[in-house]
Amino acid sequence: MQKIVILGGGISAEREISLLTSQTIKSALESDEMSVEILDPADYTDWTSMISHLMSVQPEMIFMGLHGAAGEDGSLQKLLETHNLPFTGSGSEACKLAMDKKAALDLATHLNIPVAAHVYLHKAEIFTEEEIINTTELPLVVKPNSSGSSVGINIVEKKEDLGAALINAWQYEDNLLCEKFIPGRELTVTILADKALPVVEIKPLNGWYDYANKYTHGNTEYICPAELTEMEQSTVQNHALEIFHKMGCAVYSRIDFRYDGEKFYFLEVNTLPGMTALSLTPMAAKAIGLDLRALLSEIINLSKQK
Q: Do residues 282 and 294 lie in contact, with contact meaning Cβ atoms separated by under 8 Å?
A: no
Low-confidence residues in the chain, pLDDT < 50: 149, 208, 210-215
CATH 3.30.1490.20, the chain: domain bounds: 118-180
Please list the residue range(s) of the chain that carry CATH number 3.30.470.20: 97-113+183-305
pLDDT of residue 150: 60
For CATH 3.40.50.20, the residue range(s) in the chain are 2-87
How high is the pLDDT of residue 21? 92
For the segment(s) 97-113+183-305, the CATH number from 3.30.565.10, 1.25.40.10, 3.40.30.10, 3.30.470.20 is 3.30.470.20
CA 203 to chain centre: 18
| CA atoms in the 13 A half-sphere facing the CB of 81 | 13
**Domain 118-180 - what CATH class?**
alpha beta
Give the model's pLDDT for residue 19.
92
- Give pLDDT, residue 7: 97
Task: Give the integer Cα–Cα distance in Å for 303 and 101.
Answer: 25
Q: What is the CATH number of domain 2-87?
A: 3.40.50.20
3-class DSSP state of 209? coil
Q: Is 149 a catalytic residue?
A: yes
Rounded distance, CA 212 to CA 226, Å?
22
Of the listed 215, 252, 259, 265, which one is catalytic? Answer: 215
Give SS3 for 2. Answer: strand
pTM, two decimals, is: 0.92
Say what the pLDDT of residue 84 is: 96
**Interatomic CA distance for residues 131 and 140, integer angstroms:** 13
Is residue 268 among the annotated active site residues?
yes
Q: What is the pLDDT of residues 226-274, one digit of tens each?
A: 999 999 999 999 999 999 999 999 999 999 999 999 999 999 999 999 8
Residue 219's pLDDT is: 61
**Which residue out of 12, 14, 92, 213 is catalytically annotated?**
14
Residue 14 is among the residues annotated as catalytic for this protein = yes
| Catalytic residue chosen out of the listed positions 92, 147, 149, 279 | 149
Number of residues assigned to the chain: 306
What confidence tens digit (pLDDT) does each residue in 193-224 have? 999 999 999 987 665 454 444 445 556 788 99
Which one is catalytic: 185, 258, 268, 303? Answer: 268
Residue 256 appears among annotated catalytic residues: yes
